[in-house]
Amino acid sequence: MNMLTEAGVEKKLTEMADENAIKMRGRNVTVHYGEKQALFDVNLDVPEKQVMALIGPSGCGKSTFLRCLNRMNDTIPICKVGGDITLDAEDIYDPRIDVVELRARVGMVFQKPNPFPKSIYENIAYGPRIHGLTKAKSDLDGIVESSLQKAALWNEVKDRLHEPGTGLSGGQQQRLCIARAIAVSPEVILMDEPCSALDPIATAKVEELIDELRQNYTIVIVTHSMQQAARVSQRTAMFHLGYLVEEGPTDKMFTNPDDKRTQDYITGRFG
Ligand SMILES: Nc1ncnc2c1ncn2[C@@H]1O[C@H](COP(=O)(O)OP(=O)(O)OP(=O)(O)O)[C@@H](O)[C@H]1O
């Protein structure tokens, strides 16, 4: 029989806990835009260092939920968020939370690549500089290089770092935006349909990158593409009309979902 020592048991338990670690937790999350309620009592856990896909028909509240996770909804005056959302068990809506710092810990990549109208180098250097992550120019050079490496863009841009970011192809611009998010050492990266403006080759590159990034980061991605959700995520959450319908391992969600609405959506019967 395979007997584990006490230290072995301890190690095994720690590994199991890590596998199931919850990075962000949403409890009874509601969102109103003025009178209109967009989310109803959403309870959803985001597992650490995995990719979670948010799927569901247009208008079901996927992007609204995503934006709750780094308080991007604060920028919409009519938007009111209720319920609890935690990051490492810390309430991110606590008035003492510094929202700028929160958004460095929980970075975001948008649908349309949106590099600053500055050089490739400056696009990456801006965040670490304003967050005071580095003082020496050589440190900043190092962050720029490692962020571009992690975003699988370094080889394509290393000889043109001082050219405008807006001069890159759409797919390269999106990887530049991912590098920019990585540069401030986030823990979570939120992606709102990051490939919808990209061609299939650029999409494949970004998907490959997402798969690599999950070794170090927790990722939540909104996508309209069932294939993409199946390719990149380990867990999938299905929304419908502002409700979380169900959540589970991606394999199960795409082969044997519990709810008929998920079945109908993934087989293209609505949405
Ligand atoms: N800024 C806003 N002001 C008012 N209503 C909004 C705003 N943003 C979203 N909504 C409404 O909230 C609901 C959920 O929208 P949301 O964008 O979160 O859905 P979604 O599932 O991401 O949709 P899509 O897949 O089309 O992007 C919709 O009814 C939408 O009209």
Give the DSSP letter of residue 243.
E
Name beta bridge partners: 222: 54, 192
Ligand 1 atom, smallest distance to 60 CA: 21
Percent of the chain exceeding pLDDT 70 equals 94
Task: Assess: ipTM above 0.90.
Answer: yes
Ligand 1 atom, smallest distance to 224 CA: 25
Domain ranges of the chain: 22-266
Q: What are phi and psi of 67, to 5 degrees?
A: -70, -20
Residue 156 has pLDDT above 80, yes or no: yes
- Mutating to test ligand 1, I would choose from 29, 30, 63, 196 the residue with most ligand atoms within 8 A of its C-beta, which is 63
Give the distance (Å) from ligand 1 centre to CA of residue 39: 10
User: Which is nearest to 153 in space by CA: 191, 209, 196?
Assistant: 209
Which residues, 6 or more positions from 205, have their beta carbon under 8 angstroms from its beta carbon? 152, 171, 175
Mean pLDDT, rounded, of the chain: 92
**Residues 31-37: what's their mean pLDDT?**
98
What pTM was computed for the model?
Answer: 0.90
Q: Specify whether domain 22-266 bears CATH 3.40.50.300.
A: yes
Which two tokens mark 105? Answer: 């810990």
Ligand 1 residue neighbourhood (C-beta within 6 Å): 33, 38, 56, 58-64, 76
**Residues 21-40: what's their mean pLDDT?**
98
Helix, coil or strand: residue 186: coil
Name beta bridge partners: 31: 39, 81
- How far apart CA 79 and CA 27 sit, in angstroms, is 18
- How far apart CA 172 and CA 157 sit, in angstroms, is 9
pLDDT of residue 1: 45
Report how far apart the first and last C-alpha atoms of the chain are (Å, whole number): 53
Helix (H) or strand (E) holding 26: strand 22-33
Residue 136 has pLDDT above 90, yes or no: no
- How far apart CA 153 and CA 46 sit, in angstroms, is 28
Query: Which amino acid, residue 237?
Result: A
